[in-house]
Structure 1
Amino acid sequence: MNNMTQPTASIFVIPPHFLTIRYNGAHYPGSPNTNGLEGGANCQQFAYELLRHNSFSVPDLRSRELWEDTTHTYRVTELTWGDLLLWNKTPDPYGAHVGVYIGDGQAIHLAKDNGYPVMERLENIAQHPAYRVFIGAKRAMLHGGN
């Protein structure tokens, strides 16, 4: 399984300050203006920082790169805490919205429409026209995981 350790719910936390982060489309993974969550984040940066806070190793990948990556992540069909979820209006992962699975059929995600992170049921997210296609889920490895 690519030397990846499966996360468990007991190690995954959402610190309160993550819920106050504002959407900022200019703060995306790899942007020279991006420094963690300082000054806000886009959906990808938010998701990656949440995973990094929980000891996952996630490089600065854009949506398509994340979906195609096999070095740091792998595709899963059974969801667990910390899995990265991708949605789009088409099956194309380019520009896909990224959230994090938090259990019980829910995800946390930072969407431009909301302006701040929300925890929602997966079926409710799929009702949004821009997220009607669930592309799939990726699991990142934990730091030092074997």
Structure 2
Amino acid sequence: MWASKTYFFMDSSRLLSALSLVVLVALSSVGTSSAAVVVTNRSVDGLVMEMPGPKPMPISRAKAMLRTMPDKWRGVPYRFGGTSRRGIDCSAFVQQVMQDVFDVSVPRNTSGQSGAGERVSKGQLQPGDLILFSSRYSSSGRHVGIYVGDNEFLHISSTRNRVVIANLDSYGNSPGLRFSQARRIVKLDADEPSFELPAETNPLAIPMIATKTMQRVVLAGSIAF
């Protein structure tokens, strides 16, 4: 004996409206790190979507953006006390990059930056964390950079007179300097692969890609034509 099955019907115009809403919201999240989503709760004939507000930047995007900085700052020299492209010091460089990449403000000097955000251990580092170094002969802050991942950090070097990406362990063991602490200013979003909804929920067999922006998609049931 065949098991009975309940079907929900939706005319083509309503279905296209629902699919258009899904595609519109998915596209609105592409290439943005913190743009607010307009739709918060929306229902189209059985399709219910709950949308968050601004979302954190994905870790992979933060890493990629930070790694472009040496090229973007090519030709800019180190200058103690400098705050422009004519010459800039380590803390001013960090302040500028954090503003440009993450749209957040941090204090101007290493003393202020050493107390910003929250302290994280060296084993918990993620791109965007501030890396602070101190003198081997003093506990005061002396140099600062930004972690980019893979045990490397971004900074402007006074000895090389340019913006570089350096190995964290090698730099932290250099004469006169030692790793002091790391501070987390921004919280990033763990990278999650997108996925396709099962075919049985998609009667038109059109791949619908669900991103993290779409936190929950609830279908009232199977749709039959």
Identity %: 21
Cα displacement (A) at 1:81: 0.6
Q: Tell me which moved more, 75-84 or 119-128.
A: 119-128
Alpha-carbon separation, structure 2, partners of 1:101 and 1:19: 19
Q: Which residue of 1 aligns with 2:118?
A: 74
Whether the aligned pair in 2 keeps the contact of 1:58 and 1:140 (CA below 8 Å) is no
Q: Tell me which moved more, 100-109 or 44-53.
A: 44-53
Number of corresponding residues: 125
Whether the aligned pair in 2 keeps the contact of 1:87 and 1:98 (CA below 8 Å) is yes
Counterpart code for 1:26: G
TM-score by length of 1: 0.74
Cα displacement (A) at 1:42: 0.3
* SS in structure 1 of the partner of residue 114 of structure 2: helix
Aligned: 1:9 with 2:9 = no
Q: Which residue of 1 aligns with 2:96?
A: 49
Whether the aligned pair in 1 keeps the contact of 2:62 and 2:127 (CA below 8 Å) is no
Alpha-carbon separation, structure 2, partners of 1:6 and 1:93: 32
Match of 2:186 among 122, 141, 144: 141
Aligned: 1:126 with 2:172 = yes
Counterpart code for 2:90: C
Whether the aligned pair in 1 keeps the contact of 2:76 and 2:88 (CA below 8 Å) is yes
Alpha-carbon separation, structure 2, partners of 1:60 and 1:19: 24
Q: Which residue of 2 aligns with 1:85?
A: 131
Query: What is the RMSD computed on CA atoms of the aligned residues?
Result: 2.1
* SS in structure 1 of the partner of residue 73 of structure 2: helix
Counterpart code for 2:175: P
Deviations 1:32-85 (A, max 9, x none): xx3xx331210111122112111241233321222123xxx1111110111110
Cα displacement (A) at 1:7: 6.1
* SS in structure 2 of the partner of residue 129 of structure 1: coil
Whether the aligned pair in 2 keeps the contact of 1:7 and 1:82 (CA below 8 Å) is no
Which of the pair has more CA radius of gyration? 2
Structure 1 residues 87 and 47 mapped into 2: Cα distance closer, same or farther (>3 Å)? same
TM-score by length of 2: 0.50
Aligned: 1:59 with 2:106 = yes
Whether the aligned pair in 1 keeps the contact of 2:130 and 2:183 (CA below 8 Å) is yes
Q: Which residue of 2 aligns with 1:20?
A: 75
Match of 1:112 among 144, 158, 174: 158
